[in-house]
Structure 1
Amino acid sequence: MNILHLSAVSNWGGGENHIENLCTELAITNPEINNIVFCVKNGPFHERLKQTNIKHIASALSIKIDLRFAFNIGKACKTHQIDLIHIHDTTAIQLAIIADKIYNLPPFIFSKKTSFEIKQRKKTLYKYNYPKIKKILCVSEETMRISKKAITDHNKLITIYHGTNLKNKSSKTPFKLRDKYSIKNNTIIIGNIANHIRAKHLDTWVNVANRIINEEQKTNFFFVQIGTFTERTQPLLNRVKELNLNNHMIFLGYTSNASNFIPQFDISLMTSQSEGIPQFIYESMYHKVPVVSTNVGGIPEIITHQKNGLLAPMHDDKALSELILQLVDNPKMAENFINLSHKKVTENFSTSQMAQNTIKIYKHVLNNV
């Protein structure tokens, strides 16, 4: 079975981490499956793949719909006798459809990794309902619920949780946060890993810090944010300066093996306004760091409020701040959360389980073409 994993994303994020985990797991458990990743040339994902044993092909993508990328998809399918194309982002769907018109490609599977509503526009609906897409793998039940509004054939939809890779965990980092930024031992580190995109709503992240440090006068907190900078970064930095938070907050930008820093966090804070299920939460559960998060997307499917974490409505920095302070004042609660979360993620949300569930879909599609 020859699978082409199609990514047209120009940065590194949870979606790319999912592809890497899937291919790595399948190489171990199912070596008869030949996985090839088709990605953007010289992008962060391409650079990362160069450091792995994962087979990959890179193509230039200078504009969103770059015909060279589409042509090269077709050529790769012919050269490598691809049986199935696993598409991992919406831009890649468009490019695969263009390539299919020219080369008559093998069947598609699409992974829907966010809980964004699918726009009810003719071109968008055509893309998502393209007949070559035989299955849509939803990252959460909430993602499936939202997708049903736009997908005509609900039988195409199935939920497969991504989970965390239990085989490659490490806490090795090039430096210790407390050492590098002179953070005192009694200072509480609030951590977050997310690229600077609209869905992550890092304005709320800054607002939480402002409430705790400036309004509540709790100065024994330090906020660490890790993730790729974008056009949204400078306004965030400006607000941090305006609020006099520079001594209590650092934005590290893109950092390789960012999840290795999680054990150095005292609390993981997620402020997203839209999600599938973020890898950051899975990783925090594994590393036994308590989670405070907004209750968006599929997050409530793995974090139950007051049972193994704390949840608040999106944009509600007041509620999130209060939950953080509540958790700090209740170490026994935090201990219960992390023990339950660790058990839950290791037993139910591993990338090994994700890979085996995905194989079943591959085989089902190919047996019914």
Structure 2
Amino acid sequence: MKKILHILVLPQMAGSQRISLEILKNLPDDEFEKHVLFGTEICGEKREECQRLFEAAGAKVIYLKTLKRAIGLSDFQALISIYKLCRQYRYDIVHTHSTKPGIIGRIGARLARVPNIIHTVHGLSFHDYVKFPKWQFYWLCEMFASLFCDRIVLVNRYYAKYFRWFKSKTSTIYNGVDFSRLSTPSVFPQQNETSSVNVLSVGRLDTQKDPLTLMKAAQIVIRQAPNVHFTIVGNGELYADCERFIRENYLNTHITLAGWQDNVQPFYATHDIFALTSIYESFGLIFVEAGFHYLPTVATNVEGIPEVIKNEVTGLLTNPHDYEGTAKKILQLALDSRMRTDMGRKAHEWVTSQFTIDRMVRAYVELYNIENR
């Protein structure tokens, strides 16, 4: 039986945790002894839910206090602890997820002589909106850590340009969604131009998602099409700024801030268009979910998004920070019910053929098997 360890920072069910969970859940229990390592910065209900789900997948959950998001002296302690853990359990495979676990985990596992070390790049710290000194530092850390692993998995093809020195190690495995856990989608009937059109956005209200650009776009859309309503689902450090923008521009009847929602599935059934104005995004599982529910998407043409959304086929892409361009794309869909219906159907067909959980897990299992021959 092969022993496998997944390493992540936060014990909460976000993007990389969901991917790790699906991989472990679908590994045969009679072939793999499964462990997962987390830091302890998250506690309470989120940690309890995360632990419960991983244990239900047959994984032993281990916590490490020194494994933290921020860079600090605790990183050296975490590296030593991971080294000791790998020596103790003699893992056959260590699979790290995201930047911090990817750096510390790969080095610690290699020092412990773990035979197969795999790292999935769920996102990069050296994106276009990081200033050069930090960009260079993060890039150097990632490249150095890449020396300590056997395989580097990218969640999009765009990132391959950063790893050209490790071309022989890299492969792309798109994230997948377990569509069976989603509510049954409904296809909207074609609507005439006087019908109410509802635009949905789901995501953390932070700098990366750039919700104020969407707010400014919404203001333009509403002036030209008063029948359009926006619902913003999410919370974050820019929530108060969004509230202020709505209040100061008298948009309360046109934009609803729904806050954090444990279950966003019901929102898909009552909306016609999905929109998100991220300034960087490695993949975006939320786009897959929106497509599954027959929603065409307006999003930014950055990083991995164009690989999930086919421009002018399943959605419309615009430039980051371009609120006028975003408004134009939303209006295009809002005023053309046939386009919405056509793109929505194509979005459903695209995501259900390309981004299934079975397809993703099969690719990882094949990778594990290749690495263990």
- Shorter-chain TM-score bucket reads 0.7 to 0.9
CA distance in 2, matches of 1:366, 1:304: 36
CA distance in 2, matches of 1:239, 1:282: 29
- Residue 16 of structure 2 aligns with which residue? 15
Distance apart, 1:361 and its partner CA: 1.8
Distance apart, 1:271 and its partner CA: 0.8
Aligned length: 347
Asked if the contact 1:275/1:297 (under 8 Å) is kept, the reply is: yes
> Secondary structure of 1:304's partner?
coil
Q: Which segment is superposed worse, 61-70 or 276-285?
A: 61-70
2:172 to 159, 171, 184: 159
CA distance in 2, matches of 1:260, 1:71: 45
- 1:90-139, Cα deviation, whole Å (9 max, x unpaired): 11123325644875555421111236646663674244333222111111
Structure 2 segments unaligned to the other structure (5+ residues): 128-133, 186-193
After TM superposition, which residue ranges in structure 1, 4 or more long, deviate above 6 angstroms? none
- Residue 137 of structure 1 aligns with which residue? 153
- Residue 5 of structure 1 aligns with which residue? 6
- Residue 38 of structure 2 aligns with which residue? 39
CA 1:101–1:139: 2 relative to 1, 3 Å: closer
Q: Answer yes or no: is 1:359 the counterpart of 2:360.
A: no
CA 1:98–1:365: 2 relative to 1, 3 Å: closer
CA distance in 2, matches of 1:328, 1:266: 8
- Residue 130 of structure 2 aligns with which residue? none
Q: What are the residue-to-residue correspondences of 1:1-369 with 2, within 5 Å? A: 1-9=2-10, 12-26=13-27, 32-41=31-40, 42-43=42-43, 46-52=47-53, 53-54=56-57, 55=59, 56-60=61-65, 61=67, 64=70, 65=72, 66-67=74-75, 69-96=78-105, 99-100=108-109, 103-114=112-123, 117=126, 121=136, 124-130=139-145, 131-145=147-161, 147-148=162-163, 152-170=165-183, 187-213=196-222, 215-216=223-224, 218-229=225-236, 231-367=237-373
Alignment RMSD (CA, Å): 2.9
Asked if the contact 2:117/2:150 (under 8 Å) is kept, the reply is: yes
Identity of aligned residues (%): 22
Q: Which segment is superposed worse, 117-126 or 255-264?
A: 117-126
Structure 1 segments unaligned to the other structure (5+ residues): 173-184
Residue identity matched to 2:48: E
CA distance in 2, matches of 1:258, 1:128: 37
> TM-score if structure 1 supplies the norm length?
0.83
- Residue 188 of structure 2 aligns with which residue? none
CA distance in 2, matches of 1:324, 1:45: 35
Asked if the contact 2:213/2:277 (under 8 Å) is kept, the reply is: yes
Asked if the contact 2:106/2:117 (under 8 Å) is kept, the reply is: no
Q: Which segment is superposed worse, 339-348 or 107-116?
A: 107-116
